[in-house]
A and B are shown apart, each in its own frame.
Chain A
Amino acid sequence: MLAGSADNLTDALETVVAADSELQLSFPSAGRDISVHDLAAASRAAAVALVGRGVEGGDRIGVLSRNSPEFLIALFAAVGAGAAACPLPLPTSAGDLSGYASRLSGIIAAAGIGRVLVDDRLGAVASRLAGVLTGVELIPVGSIAAGVAATAGRSARLPAVEPDELAVVQFTSGSTAAPKGVRLTHRNVLAGLDAIATGIDIRPGEDSGGLWLPLFHDMGLFGTLAGTFAGIDMAVWSPGAFVKDPARWLRQFADRGATISPAPSFGYETLAESIPRDEVGRYDLSRWRVALNGAEPIPVAGLDGFLEHFAPAGFAPSAMMPVYGMAEATLAVTFPPLGRAPTALWVDRDRLGAGGVAVEVARDDRRARGLPALGRPVRAVRVRVVDEHGKEVADREVGEIEIAGDPITAGYLTAPGAPPAPGPDPDGWLGTGDLGFQRAGELYVTGRRKEMIIVRGVNFYPEDAESVIRDAPGLHRRRCVAFADTSADGAERITVVGESALEDPADRARLAADLCTAVSVELGLPDVIVHLVGPDDLPRTSSGKFQRLAARELTRQAAGRDA
């Protein structure tokens, strides 16, 4: 990586500017571009303005921006001023302002954010938020950068930033009620970006990257920075542009001759669904060298379907790379070897639970579950699989995946009073909450120990579903339990079980449908299942707490009887 020897993100950006000041970051949906030279200059000016406003080392500054130059100017301004940048989510679905506002205020409390740098062009969203976010100063980033004369920006002194200071706090995980911010230092981020660049062998002059993920998402942010810091042009579309017209996005991506793109599995499946078979031949995807596929569970059928669908466009099977990563690792954990088409292992699904073992079966076996091979640890990352006592298990044995190394977070920021979120153990091993096994040095992910599902790269928590419906009329004494579940075809979803004293089957059906709609709408989640049981049917612990796992077992048995 070009910026490999830098101590902090600001120096790394300067190294990139020194190597090629005209390197571009393009934002096609916003119709704008910025060179790394101009990005560094604007960020420096904004950092000077922030210091002038009293920002100090250790402060946390929110970044609220669409995919536009302002996002990156705000990020580099915050770290240049010695603060940590906290990317804030934008609303993702229509009309969810109230749920969105409560999520945002949870993040602001957890991170202790006093100032938010806002995209000057955010308009309607920013003005609606002003009423919601009291006690937070909203600062338009473009205008404060423009307010500092170029000469003053160059001569002013900015604080020296050490590698172990916080650079980014990434709020990808945690429920609405208890958001968790992943603390990433400059050292973590630079090591993580280097691991990505090395793992896919990014080559300045030959490669260029393109993506449409939001920059506030870990894959969007670190995917973009990995390319820029490795010295290649990057194009960042808006998520809306991709979702509204996937075919148009693909044409623009191909027309740019882009070679690298990260996306969740849902993105690749969307492309295959959106371009009719008889039109695939009109695309030239032969330059596409690396299609990183991560951020959510990857169905083997989705991988195979994409390869088969886009073969007539010259898409090389070896370009598709199912990977494993997370914000806690500044993104990458394992990558498959370059130049290998995706491979999968077919194992007995009934023997995969915790303490289980991967037993290979024929692909057409009734119990066969396909798991893509996710490769080996990237540079500077170590991976192991442990049992419930923390003891490393043998090859093929299922346990919790743990990670360690320079890119790995030192822990989380949580709101005062929130449940504790443990960081790495004294030896540096961080439990991921994911279950999996290793075989011949490669990682396979089988499921999750923590209660959460991931759909389209977004984490959803059962407790958020419970809080949506707990007060619904018709529920018996606010009793309901939600849990993460998997449908027959392997899709992740949330199932809710509620107690109801209603007797009339029509009333019960109506209540179930209403609860289902409420959860879908509030969480923005397509697949929600609701079961109603009688009063006092939900299993509880001796202390009166509902038992999620026991409730899940109850609905499975019920489903078995119905079938």
Chain B
Amino acid sequence: MSVSTDELISEITGIVAEELGVPIDSVSPEADLRSVQGADSVKVLRVIARIERARDVELEDEEVFGASTVREVAEVLQRALTESAAV
């Protein structure tokens, strides 16, 4: 089963908006997550944790450190999903 990056982006955008308490349309795929009102490094990690639970994957800390936008997180997630599907 493969998932498109666009699907992951909209899923992650929903989680970001809910976790940070902001409207969905205020979260653009290219915006730096930490610049979203109310976000800090702890809340961003919480977002990642929710994505992990929703998709049942574990993202490597170093991969996550390298991602700062919704699109980048989606790309990290997609790689992880592809790898876990290949096992």
A residues in contact (CB < 8 Å) with B: 66, 90-97, 122-125, 128, 238, 240, 243-245, 270, 456, 517, 520-521, 524-526
Contact = CB atoms under 8 A, between A and B. Distances in A.
Interface string B65-85: 111110010000000000000
Given A94-B66, A95-B66, A244 B34 contact: no
B64 to A, nearest CB: 6
17 contacts: A90-B65, A91-B65, A93-B34, A93-B40, A94-B66, A95-B65, A95-B66, A96-B68, A97-B65, A125-B62, A128-B66, A240-B64, A243-B46, A243-B49, A244-B48, A244-B52, A520-B34
Contacts of A521: 32, 34-35
Contacts of B68: 94-96
Contact of B62 (A123, A245, A526): A123
Contact of B60 (A97, A124, A520): A124
A243 B32 contact: no
Contacts of B34: 93-95, 520-521, 524
Contact of A122 (B33, B41, B62): B62
Contacts of B66: 94-95, 97, 124, 128
Contacts of A243: 42, 45-46, 49
A124 B35 contact: no
Contact of B65 (A93, A456, A517): A93
A96 B44 CA distance: 13
Contacts, number: 70
Nearest to A66: B61
B56 interface: no
B75 to A, nearest CB: 13
B63 interface: yes
Best-buried of A95, A243, A270 by chain B (most CB within 10 Å) = A95
A524 B60 contact: no
A89 to B, nearest CB: 12
Contact of A93 (B44, B52, B62): B44
Best-buried of A94, A245, A456 by chain B (most CB within 10 Å) = A94
Contacts of A124: 60, 62-63, 65-66
A92 to B, nearest CB: 6
A520 B65 CA distance: 16
A238 B49 CA distance: 14
A128 B65 CA distance: 11
Interface of A, helix, strand, loop or mixed by DSSP: loop
Nearest to A124: B62
Contacts of A95: 32, 34, 65-69, 72
Given A240-B45, A243-B46, A125 B52 contact: no
Contacts of B72: 95
Interface of B: 32-35, 40-42, 44-46, 48-49, 52, 60-69, 72
B26 to A, nearest CB: 13
Contacts of A238: 61
A66 B62 CA distance: 10
A520 B67 contact: no
Contacts of A91: 65
Closest 10 CB pairs of A and B: A95-B68, A244-B49, A93-B41, A526-B40, A124-B62, A517-B35, A125-B62, A91-B65, A243-B45, A521-B34
Contact of B40 (A125, A245, A270, A524): A524
Contacts of A520: 34-35, 40
B56 to A, nearest CB: 14
B61 A525 contact: no
A240 B61 contact: yes
Contacts of B32: 95, 521
A79 B63 CA distance: 31
A244 B41 contact: no
Contacts of B67: 94-95
Nearest to B69: A95
Given A243-B45, A244-B49, A521-B34, A94 B40 contact: no
A140 to B, nearest CB: 15
Given A90-B65, A95-B34, A244-B45, 10 more contacts: A93-B41, A94-B64, A94-B67, A95-B66, A96-B65, A123-B62, A125-B62, A456-B42, A521-B32, A526-B40
B22 to A, nearest CB: 14
A494 to B, nearest CB: 13
Contacts of B61: 66, 238, 240
A94 B33 contact: yes
Contacts of B35: 517, 520-521
Contacts of A90: 65
